[in-house]
Amino acid sequence: MPLKERHSHCLKLAALLLLLSVLTGCATTTNGRHAATTRLSPESTGLAAKGTSRLWQSQMQELDQLSLPELEHQGDLALKRKDFHVAFVHYERVLRQAPDNVEVQFKLGLLFVLAGMDREAIPYLEKVLQAEPQRARAHYVLGLAHFHLQERQQAQDELQLAIEYNPKLWQAHNLLGILADTAKRADQAIASFQAAIVLRPRNGQLHNNLGVAYAMAGAPKQAIHCFKQALQNGYDPPRVYNNLGLALAGQGQFEEALASFTKAGGAAKAYNNLGCAYLQIGRTKEAKACFQKALELEPEFYAVAQANHNKADVEITRGYKTAAP
């Protein structure tokens, strides 16, 4: 059965929104980041090349002609469009001439987190905090890096500091909620997501996160309300409709669940998901009928429905044997 999407996590989006706040003067499960396998360096940017080609010399000469503010500005533009290599080269050249530039150190730390190179981000962010220990956003991004590296305690410590120095930093509340939820501390997760929603009441991703926390805490009615709030606030990817369908099915509202599952991924997947919901509560005959419908709708594509259909048959047979004297 498709599991609930554990938060949209708002993680990469949170960092991107934070980037806009930093450079121009604001986030969801989880959802995925891609681990980088190579270290960013001038040699990997495309602006530099091995040897001393004329193109390489020309590009470096162009950079040499830029002032420090111009280099930083060009780096900012590249970072906004997620051209991490170009941004790195410009920021790195700023630090060559101004190694104590805290703002550029922060931007490089943020860049590495966005690029999926969290371990490389940490030294830059720690330098920022050595110079400015009360910089809440640096604590948040450092906490995000530790979270990605599954260093839970370090992440929690940094996020709590971020909130201590800036209680309105809703991204930190959200990430603390995700940490609590993944540790199965439902009450803490719910409190953190609620704190984030107070600050960003129209952020549908936060409502989805709170709904997942309520669902995992065994409060389906509250979960349903939160998933509907997520949709009403314009956040409607398939995961939210799927989450809502699961919560509705858990409440026995199977027709409404089917409608929500259909919006999540079409009729065949909807019947398969509903069949899984029935199977989970032991209603094997209804489950089998749903899997059969999924097969009728997509007989070639939906092999998973056939497997579930067979599983329902086994469960039905097992039920008959159990009931025999």
pLDDT by residue (tens digit) across 9-52? 444 434 434 443 333 223 333 333 223 333 344 344 443 444 44
Query: Using CA atoms, how far apart are residues 119 and 157, in angstroms rounded to an integer?
Result: 17
At residue 124 the predicted structure's pLDDT band, cuts being 50, 70 and 90, is very high
Q: Which of 8-22, 269-283, 287-301 has the highest mean pLDDT?
A: 269-283
pLDDT by residue (tens digit) across 199-215? 999 999 999 999 999 99
At residue 316 the predicted structure's pLDDT band, cuts being 50, 70 and 90, is low
What pLDDT was estimated at residue 25? 27
What pLDDT was estimated at residue 69? 93
What pLDDT was estimated at residue 280? 87
Nearest CA-CA partner of 205 in 27, 16, 5, 4: 27
| Size of the chain in residues | 325
Give the mean pLDDT of 310-315: 69
Query: Using CA atoms, how far apart are residues 128 and 145, in angstroms rounded to an integer?
Result: 14
Give the mean pLDDT of 131-146: 98
Yes or no: is domain 11-238 CATH 1.25.40.10? yes
Query: Using CA atoms, how far apart are residues 12 and 35, in angstroms rounded to an integer?
Result: 12
Q: Which of 26-35, 80-89, 133-142, 307-316 has the highest mean pLDDT?
A: 133-142
Share above pLDDT 70 across residues of the chain, in percent, rounded to a whole number: 75
Pairwise pLDDT comparison (173 vs 3), residue with the higher score: 173
pLDDT at 179 over 60: yes
Q: Are 265 and 274 in contact (CB under 8 A)?
A: no
Q: Are 233 and 207 in contact (CB under 8 A)?
A: yes
Q: What value, to the nearest 5°, has the Cα angle with vertex 2 and ends 10 and 216?
A: 60
Pairwise pLDDT comparison (198 vs 60), residue with the higher score: 198
What pLDDT was estimated at residue 35? 32
What pLDDT was estimated at residue 64? 78
**Token pair of 40 as six digits:** 């960013």
Give the mean pLDDT of 134-154: 97
What pLDDT was estimated at residue 39? 39
Four-residue CA torsion sign, 294, 296, 298, 303: positive
Give the mean pLDDT of 233-255: 93
pLDDT at 323 over 70: no
Residues 6+ positions from 34 with CB-CB distance below 8 Å: 116
User: Rounded to an integer, what is the distance from CA 215 to the centroid of its chain?
Assistant: 18
Nearest CA-CA partner of 181 in 141, 226, 214: 214
Nearest CA-CA partner of 209 in 226, 185, 222: 226
Query: Using CA atoms, how far apart are residues 284 and 320, in angstroms rounded to an integer?
Result: 11
- Annotated domain spans of the chain: 11-238
120-129 CB contacts, 8 Å cutoff, 24+ apart:
120/39, 120/40, 121/145, 122/146, 127/102, 128/102
Average the pLDDT over each of 118-132, 224-238, 246-260, 300-314 and give the range with the smallest value: 300-314
What pLDDT was estimated at residue 301? 60
Share above pLDDT 90 across residues of the chain, in percent, rounded to a whole number: 66
What pLDDT was estimated at residue 237? 87
Neighbours of 42 (CB within 10 A): 16
User: Rounded to an integer, what is the distance from CA 139 to the centroid of its chain?
Assistant: 19
Between 84-97 and 102-114, two packed helices, what is the crossing angle to 10 degrees?
A: 160
Q: How far is CA 168 from CA 62, 162, 198, 218, 310, in A?
A: 42, 9, 9, 29, 52
Query: Using CA atoms, how far apart are residues 278 and 90, in angstroms rounded to an integer?
Result: 57
At residue 308 the predicted structure's pLDDT band, cuts being 50, 70 and 90, is confident
C-alpha count within 13 angstroms, C-beta hemisphere, residue 79: 31
Q: Are 4 and 223 in contact (CB under 8 A)?
A: no
User: Mean pLDDT across the chain, nearest whole number?
Assistant: 82
User: Rounded to an integer, what is the distance from CA 311 to the centroid of its chain?
Assistant: 33
pLDDT at 224 over 90: yes
